[in-house]
Amino acid sequence: MRGVGARGDSDEAYVVDLCNRILGETALPQHRFDWLLGDPGAGGRRVRLPVDAYWPGHRLVVEYRELQHDQPVPHFDKPDRLTVSGVHRGEQRALYDARREAEIPAHGLRLVVVRPADLDADGRGRLRRNEEADLAVLRKVLARAGDEDRVTDAFRTWLLAEGWTPVEPTDRWTDLEAVRGGERLICEAKGHTSEKGIDADIAYGQLLRRMTSRDARTRYALVVPSSSVKAVERVPGHVRDLLRIEVYEVTDDNQVRRLSA
C-alpha cells in the first residue's frame, strides 16, 4: 500500500506496528533507498520507490500487499490512464513489486511479503485486527525469514574453519559462494519452513540453473536445517553425485554436517 493510506489507522500501519512489537525495533515507514528506482519520467528523472517498512537493525524490509497487488481493481488500477512506464497503474504496480523482489535481496536485505490472506481478514481483504492470531502468524513468518540467515551464517563459519574463502557470487542470486585452491562451491541455503518438500524442490531447481560450469572442481551445496533433511534426501544420493550436489545439515545449535550420498 502507498500514499496517505499507508499511515494512521490503515491495515498496513497495523501490520507494521505488530512487526515493531515482535522485532523490538521501530521501523522506518515508507523508506526509500537510493538504488530502488522507478522508471524514467519527464526529463529522464527517476524517483526512488518506497518500501512499506524497513528495520535497519534487522536488515529487514516488510511489504504489506493488499488485494490490488494480486488481482485487478479498477479503482486502483485506473486502466484508462498510462503511467511513466507506458502501462496502466495496475501493471506498473506489478512491475515495481517485481523490482522490489529483485533489488532488495540483491542489496543484502531480507524481504518479507505479507498479504491479507496470511492474517485474519474478511472476503474483501480487510483485516479484522485479531491481534493474538495475527501476532502468532507474523512471528512465524519473520522467524522463517530470519532462519535462512542463521543457516547461511552457520555454514559460512563452517566453511572458514574448513579452509574455504567466501567470495562474491558469480550469480547474484546465489546465497553463498566459496573457493579453496582450485575448488569452488556454490551454495543454496534454506531456513525452517512449513513447506519443506516444495522448498527443497525449489532449491534443487535453483542449483540446476546455476550449473553453467563444466569444471569438475565446481560443486554445489544445498544447506538446510535439520527439519528439512528428509525432504532434500528424496533426491537419491547417486543422482546428487552425478550433479555434483552436496547436502549439508545445520542443526538447531548451528553444528554443520555433510550428509552421505
Percent of the chain at pLDDT exceeding 70: 87
For residue 8, is pLDDT > 80?
A: no
Neighbours of 92 (CB within 10 A): 19
Interval 211-229 mean pLDDT: 94
Interval 210-237 mean pLDDT: 94
Mean pLDDT over each residue of the chain, to the nearest integer: 86
The CATH number of 3-129, from 1.20.950, 3.40.960, 2.40.50, 2.60.290, is 3.40.960
The CATH number of 146-258, from 3.40.190.10, 3.40.50.620, 1.20.1560.10, 3.40.1350.10, is 3.40.1350.10
Same fold, 3-129 and 146-258: no
**CB distance 28 to 56 below 8 Å:** yes
Band the pLDDT of 199: cuts 50, 70, 90. Answer: confident
Q: Is the pTM of this model over 0.75?
A: no
Establish how many alpha carbons lie within 13 A of residue 224's alpha carbon, considering only the half-sphere containing its beta carbon.
23
Q: What is the pLDDT of residue 78?
A: 52
For residue 20, is pLDDT > 70?
A: yes
CA distance 164 to 147: 23
Percent of the chain at pLDDT exceeding 90: 53
